[in-house]
Structure 1
Amino acid sequence: MDERELIPTVPIGRPIANTRVYVLDASLQPVPVGVPGELYAGGDGVACGYLNQPQLTAERFIPDPFNLRAGARLYRTGDQVRWQPDGNLEFLRRLDSQVKIRGFRVELGEIETVLRQAADVSEALVSLREDATGEKQLVAYVVASGNREPDQAGLKAALKARLPDYMIPAHVEFMSALPLTPSGKVDRRTLPKPTLTSPAGSGEAVPPRNLLELELIRLWRRLFQREDIDCQDNFFEIGGHSLLAARLATEIDKLLGCKLPIAALFQSPTVESLTRRLTRENWAPPWRSLVPLQPLGSQPPLFFVHGVGGDVYGFLELAKLLPSGQPSYGIQAVGLDGKSARHVTVEDMAAHYVKEILSFQRDGPFYLAGYSMGGLIAFEMARQLHRLGQRVALLALLDSAPIGEIPWVFYGLSMSSYIPGRCLFHFRHWWELPRCERLNYFRRRWAALRYWMVRNRSKPPLVTAPLREDSEPPQVPGFYDYYHAIASAYRVHPYPGSADVFVSDQSHPFRWYWRYLARGGVSFHRVPGMHWQLLKPGYMPALAKALGTVLHRAQEKERATHSRNGQTHANLVS
């Protein structure tokens, strides 16, 4: 038996007096008895149209091809019906619940039926919505049957078991009840806009771990017009489809110069898995030291120089906390991709980074910042830019101190304020120790004092030959980090410009030395936290606020100086 015979029919009778009805196909031709078609109404009872809604009137009220009277119209009801042998009309379904998405005709009622059959679902409605990019997407509105909301992943899995991929809603919105009109019908016009949140939103966002992941996340965020996408979000679960996958493949081709099969996205649907695949197959973007952290805005860009480790991911959150409209770029070390040899001196690093920012921004003023050891590289960059005739409007040294040899007079001044305080601290601690431990503690502190006395001796370069191409930095005996070892052989020379030094709550004994080095003047700014805490979430907002204030002051000073030139960020950046 045909299962349709088991479904009770809904007879809607015959036309009333002075009204004619037609059951027509898509070509407006009458259909035989028993064949489904759309119901059209004509005659004296048909209105002229909808008040002040010309577009809807043109869609619903069409010229009557069966009436020779001028101006006669048919009303298109949107109901699918068929004639019964006894002359009555049988209602089948609403046709206006059928939509077209990505080339497929989709019956929304079919999706709603499957949703209602899922566990813990009382009511369900599916609507076609446009996202921020103008892409059409299916959105399901679900009312739970109990106090517990159904699992979104479980709902989508139930749909995938019975429906093709193009009929799976991109988003599921849970509601306490569906909105109704005064007549008791579902009011689709008042359905809320979907909240585009990540399905994995219950977990902590996974930050990018390398440049390729960072670039892919930015690419996905542009395509989806969303900022809550991280490395582990599934492309298809957050609303991706075949057309968007084709656009993504095109963008990856522009980025990497490779033709990515769309099938690869089905096999590797997250940024994390796609990055592993691209890396495994030796697809990687052309290496650049310049990394966009927050590229949007009309202000001149601020360049953050890497420190130990060579990467700039620690500056990602700091860039977001700066004033809106402030572009920020990171400068990462060469060689992190395993395809380029690392630099062996601070001077070589600075020369390469200066070349890159000049290829991006052809003229000054430039705004540079570096944290800890990165401040030394930024300082050398400022010196080299000055020798090239370029102006550095801001040199921000974020709790930076010299690592290599400095003149003994300044070293003595620095140690005269640092060592007595440390000696007093250790003496108090020594006094509180049991007598059996005091001698060993004194020996360890004496070794540390000798280190501070001999650390200022000149050191030969620790790395002299160009390094082989390797993704892992080489180990330098006596140093925990390759770049820290390189900086220990760097001799800082005076710079004609000014500097802004941000100091942490730790003792900062090198104030006199910075005053000697920055001949244009030095401003010191206290920020809360110990040295290692400045780029941690709890202390970063205070650092961002202080840096933003100094940056704004430098920009205002430049605008006042160069107001006659009419220079802006737009004509500074090539």
Structure 2
Amino acid sequence: MGPKRVDLALIERLLCELPEVADAAVVPAAADGGAPVAVGIVSLHPGATLTGPELRWHQSMRVPLAMVPRRIEVVPRLPRTEDGSLDRDAMDDLAVGAGAVQAVGAIAGPVADLWRRQLGTTVSLDEEFDRIGGDFGLAQRTSGQIEDLTGRWYPPSVLVSHPTPRALEELVGTATGAGEASTAVLLADGRGPTVAIAYDMDGSAFTMRDLATSLGGRRVIGLDLPTAGGRARARSFEELVGIGADDLIAAHDGSPLVVIGYSLGAIGAFELAVQLRRRGQEVAMVGLIDLGPVHVAFNTGRRGMRPAETWPWRPPATDPFHRRAAGYLRHAADQPRGRRLEYVARAANVGRDFDLLRAEHDLRVHGAVRPSLRRSWSWYRLVEWTVDHRLGTWDGDAVLFVCDQTVKGNVPTSAKVDFASKLEATIGWGPHIAGHLTTWPVVGVHTDLVEPPYVKGLGEEVSRAIEVHAGG
């Protein structure tokens, strides 16, 4: 199907392994302007009420995505001939008929039109998001458009498991949209222990896709920030991470996990590992991707290098991320309340729409923050809760990945470099690790580590560390 060769009989067997499925068949069906796609036709056991999109969601969490039909149609019973074998002609008619109905749906058309306008290219209803150059910004706009059309919010990462306009049409056609059910998202399929990636400041598993595919063919599950939909689903960092821990366990097969986190997500990964172990889940390795030595001053063009003590205030690079964030918030407290979010975001070099007071008003009056402010609001709440969180102790080993950003070739060299951060190799993590903490150097600029060109090298180093410390 498409550019991949798949075994339809194997897909049928995998579908039949779902406990709700009584019988299943998979047939190829013509796609809109593309190669044929696999369509599953299933009948359910008595009492089962799952829809096709929900079955596809469950299947995408347990088998490689290449083994998940593009569409799944639920029928009372599979058509059969007089001798009891499957009636393949009738099956083909079911697959074609289902596609024809969905092609004129209220979601697929507007989504395809949005992609067409944003990317300036022809987009069919079966065009995959990644292959036409979709990025995180377009994924967010797609999420917002679906909410405008349906009144239900789906995270941008839903495009990982439902990458086409037609697949999104199937998903949102149900009353219990699967995109609202779980913060755990399958990012990549493969071998060895499953890797769980905690969200960074962007709060979306979608931004971790490049890292997931750079981990040497491993199975990777990413986590979405539970508050990214603009609703107050948690009141503390522990509750926030607890939602992800529960969703991760529900989506996983119970085998040992490798938990990693990038930047602010390193704190999330640490707490996630603690909560997973508390819930009886074995954690084979904890990986913390934190900031190494940095330039105190940054090139500001005609104004030259910014003195180290001028705005925005920058804390010592020897501090772990949660201490640096606490320093930013202490300085932000001196700002007018309506400008605190902007101050902290500027200090972190993040450009967003800011209006904290209006976001809080939305939440209080309407129960959800308006879409244009959700990213900044949820990001600010994440930083606040992280700062308030008191790190405990991980009763095990961990790997600390750091990049020396003062190395010539990584960033423009400057005399104003925080070489003091070289003096404390664990960057403040040492007291929180009861076992052995291994420092593992990586090449790159911290803010760009999970993006090309650095992400490939980071993925290779993390994969090597997994082989050494997790045995897979």
Query: Structure 2-normalised TM-score?
Result: 0.50
In the TM superposition, what are the counterparts of 1:499-538 in structure 2 within 5 Å?
499-506=398-405, 511=426, 513-538=428-453
2:155 matches 1:281: no
- Inter-CA distance 488–223: structure 2 relative to 1 (3 Å threshold): same
3-state SS of 2:459 partner: helix
2:230 matches 1:334: no
Unpaired segments of 5 or more residues in structure 2?
Answer: 9-28, 38-56, 72-91, 115-124, 126-141, 152-171, 317-322, 334-340, 342-355, 406-417
2:228–2:375: 8 Å Cα contact kept in structure 1? no
Q: Provide the residue aligned with 2:185 in structure 1.
A: 291
Q: Which amino acid aligns with 1:280?
A: L
1:385–1:392: 8 Å Cα contact kept in structure 2? yes
In the TM superposition, what are the counterparts of 1:251-262 in structure 2 within 5 Å?
261-262=102-103
In the TM superposition, what are the counterparts of 1:19-58 in structure 2 within 5 Å?
none
Unpaired segments of 5 or more residues in structure 1?
Answer: 1-130, 136-165, 172-193, 197-211, 226-240, 250-259, 402-416, 560-574
Q: Which amino acid aligns with 2:104?
A: A
Q: Provide the residue aligned with 1:305 in structure 2.
A: 198
- Inter-CA distance 443–132: structure 2 relative to 1 (3 Å threshold): closer
1:133–1:223: 8 Å Cα contact kept in structure 2? no
**Percent of pairs identical after alignment?**
18
- Inter-CA distance 278–349: structure 2 relative to 1 (3 Å threshold): closer
2:308–2:314: 8 Å Cα contact kept in structure 1? no
Q: Provide the residue aligned with 2:274 in structure 1.
A: 383
Corresponding residue pairs, total: 301
1:298–1:327: 8 Å Cα contact kept in structure 2? yes
Alpha-carbon distance in 2 for matches of 1:452, 1:278: 36
- Report how far residue 333 of structure 1 moved: 1.1
2:310 matches 1:444: yes
- Report how far residue 299 of structure 1 moved: 2.6
Q: Provide the residue aligned with 1:268 in structure 2.
A: 109
Deviations 1:478-518, CA, capped at 9 Å, x for gaps: x9743223212222122211111111223656615212111
- Report how far residue 342 of structure 1 moved: 3.6
Alpha-carbon distance in 2 for matches of 1:305, 1:167: 38
3-state SS of 1:335 partner: helix
Q: Which amino acid aligns with 1:516?
A: P
Query: Looking at both structures, which has the greater relative contact order when contacts are Cα pairs under 8 Å and sequence separation is at least 6?
Result: 2
- Inter-CA distance 380–219: structure 2 relative to 1 (3 Å threshold): closer
3-state SS of 1:319 partner: helix
3-state SS of 2:204 partner: coil
2:463 matches 1:548: yes
Q: Which amino acid aligns with 1:504?
A: C
2:397–2:434: 8 Å Cα contact kept in structure 1? yes
- Inter-CA distance 515–360: structure 2 relative to 1 (3 Å threshold): same
- Report how far residue 398 of structure 1 moved: 1.3
Whichever structure has more helix as a proportion of its residues is 2
Alpha-carbon distance in 1 for matches of 2:7, 2:395: 53
3-state SS of 1:455 partner: helix
Q: Which amino acid aligns with 1:555?
A: A
In the TM superposition, what are the counterparts of 1:31-430 in structure 2 within 5 Å?
244=95, 246-247=97-98, 261-264=102-105, 268=109, 276=145, 280-282=149-151, 283=172, 284-285=177-178, 286-294=180-188, 296-324=189-217, 326-338=218-230, 340-361=231-252, 363-399=254-290, 422=296
2:228–2:374: 8 Å Cα contact kept in structure 1? no
Q: Which amino acid aligns with 2:265?
A: G
Q: Provide the residue aligned with 1:93 in structure 2.
A: none
Deviations 1:240-297, CA, capped at 9 Å, x for gaps: x986554558xxxxxxxxxx75532897186566764686034343431101101x33
- Report how far residue 448 of structure 1 moved: 5.2
- Report how far residue 358 of structure 1 moved: 2.1
- Aligned-pair Cα RMSD in Å: 5.2
Deviations 1:87-132, CA, capped at 9 Å, x for gaps: xxxxxxxxxxxxxxxxxxxxxxxxxxxxxxxxxxxxxxxxxxxx95
- Report how far residue 388 of structure 1 moved: 3.7
- Inter-CA distance 360–453: structure 2 relative to 1 (3 Å threshold): closer
Q: Which amino acid aligns with 2:190?
A: G
3-state SS of 2:228 partner: coil
Alpha-carbon distance in 2 for matches of 1:381, 1:297: 22
Deviations 1:3-49, CA, capped at 9 Å, x for gaps: xxxxxxxxxxxxxxxxxxxxxxxxxxxxxxxxxxxxxxxxxxxxxxx
Alpha-carbon distance in 1 for matches of 2:452, 2:98: 36
Alpha-carbon distance in 2 for matches of 1:167, 1:343: 44
1:287–1:337: 8 Å Cα contact kept in structure 2? no
Alpha-carbon distance in 1 for matches of 2:470, 2:107: 48
1:475–1:482: 8 Å Cα contact kept in structure 2? no
1:474–1:482: 8 Å Cα contact kept in structure 2? no
Q: Provide the residue aligned with 1:572 in structure 2.
A: none
